Structure 1
């Protein structure tokens, strides 16, 4: 496994090998008086997380806070399993996520609807978190880890209603989860800082996503810490790419919905995926980044899930309008 990466400012990142792939999902570790981590990844990633903590010479019993930006299983599915190894830790969660960590049955059902027979391999087991070990942070609430570091929580819907982003006073960075999308560090070797929106079902709302991004941009962060994957020290490019790509995602969805109004949902989602992948691939080819590549493989996975979220959103919009 890759050793934890020192990101400076007392923060390390552990690669969780989510989906069995490097540079996909990460856990961030704060080396403070009150040791805290952000994100656990899914349960199959917990062995990688524990090995990373061991490499950092951190006893799980010394962890005080396990923070999850939102409760999607690729970010928080492993929290129940990890908590068994962290007897002194509490889990910090968005107010709309608390009940789902205490009783993950609806989370499990939702993920099974998206991932089908792949669910067990990707996410199982998903264990409940005892309610007395859950801490809710409302919009604007803070958490002090040391005399030099305070975390501030911001309600950031758009990707999900149960999502917050976290501003770190010491690094002047924001842990964005999926709020402003996915960063593909695999493309850095090609000289490209590349991000795409994350529009997975079933609470995706583009207007809220843009509003949340604008709110985070107004903080003037000096770095972005993505759930997928890693740190970007040029935040402006992330915000610009979200504003560039999100309308294209919606436009592709609207075209398919108009042309295939009577088709089943899964066929619409596949058609949206094909349109988006073609557009992204054309963009990368123009940068002389050719398929197949590791980045293309991960992008394909992401766009398949994103397409389901776009169709779900547009279907709801049609039914409501």
Structure 2
């Protein structure tokens, strides 16, 4: 667990590797909220973090999901079973998938394979409907008098929201503001990379969502992958530049027989060249290893977007 100011802590959920996937704990006046949960296997770490703060499961009022992709929300049902008074705030498009996870699991299996989903995420626990709050655009979660404002931020997924905490002047961004692994930090600060995982990537919507967040002039962003970043104006520009570059890469290889492999290689060249220019301390091999999953999934997301564009043009 890493503690920040304003009662905010990042908890490493243990998913995949250290400092890859975070749940954020917000504590206000002895009450608590989690933003994103990790997977079923993450629940003990989240409960341990509560205990380290001198809190009990009964002190948690809210679990807020930025979106329902399983690395962010897979453990929500199992966690809520342990939090007797907590409610779940989730985008209206994601609420039904928390109440009945069957389609969510099927969608993940279509991307990752059934065996991998079962091995990695286990059996998802449904959330009782009466504990689910649909957090549409402008919905405000009240944490012991501390307002947490939910904004609709599509682009990575149709059912994505970001949470504005006026107290800290920071957003909890899920995947809208990309990912930033601490291993890539340099004297210039953080390196940022967009995430375009399947199946709902929309570049124009994502850029609009990023600009909407920037309009609040936040002091920091808390990313699920991985936690607090600053120098937000620079990172926002970097994200938008890369989204445009990624769309261009996809378009360049749209009709290639080996489309996927070509997109992966060009994405790798894009990210690694930016990391080198940023002064990231790692050699190319370790950098590529850290980005391997993202290269694969971003390429898949771009391909789904390409196919959607082709289908729309054909219609």
* Residue correspondence of structure 1 range 1-321 to structure 2 within 5 A: 4-19=1-16, 21-33=17-29, 34-116=31-113, 117-147=115-145, 149-188=146-185, 191-258=188-255, 260=256, 263=257, 267-286=258-277, 287=279, 289-293=282-286, 295-321=287-313
CA distance in 2, matches of 1:101, 1:56: 28
Residues 34-68 of structure 1 show CA distances to partners (whole Å, capped at 9, x for unaligned) of: 31110101222222222222222221222110000
CA distance in 2, matches of 1:242, 1:22: 24
The CA RMSD measured in Å over matched residues stands at 1.6
The answer to whether the 8 A contact 1:284-1:290 is kept is no
Q: CA deviation at 1:126?
A: 1.2
Q: 1:300 to 1:61 in 2, by over 3 A?
A: same
The answer to whether the 8 A contact 1:156-1:163 is kept is yes
Unpaired segments ≥5 residues, structure 2: none
Q: CA deviation at 1:274?
A: 1.9
The answer to whether the 8 A contact 1:80-1:126 is kept is yes
TM-score, length-scaled by structure 1: 0.92
The answer to whether the 8 A contact 1:270-1:304 is kept is no
The answer to whether the 8 A contact 2:268-2:288 is kept is no
Q: CA deviation at 1:166?
A: 0.7
CA distance in 1, matches of 2:162, 2:37: 15
The answer to whether the 8 A contact 1:138-1:155 is kept is yes
Residue aligned with 1:309, SS: helix
Q: CA deviation at 1:189?
A: 5.1
Q: CA deviation at 1:191?
A: 4.6
Residue aligned with 2:300, SS: helix
Unpaired segments ≥5 residues, structure 1: none
TM-score, length-scaled by structure 2: 0.93
The answer to whether the 8 A contact 2:149-2:164 is kept is yes
Residues 203-240 of structure 1 show CA distances to partners (whole Å, capped at 9, x for unaligned) of: 11000000111111111111111111111122112201
The answer to whether the 8 A contact 1:190-1:289 is kept is no
CA distance in 2, matches of 1:104, 1:271: 34
Q: CA deviation at 1:163?
A: 0.6
Q: CA deviation at 1:16?
A: 0.8
Residues 144-169 of structure 1 show CA distances to partners (whole Å, capped at 9, x for unaligned) of: 2134x211111000000101111001
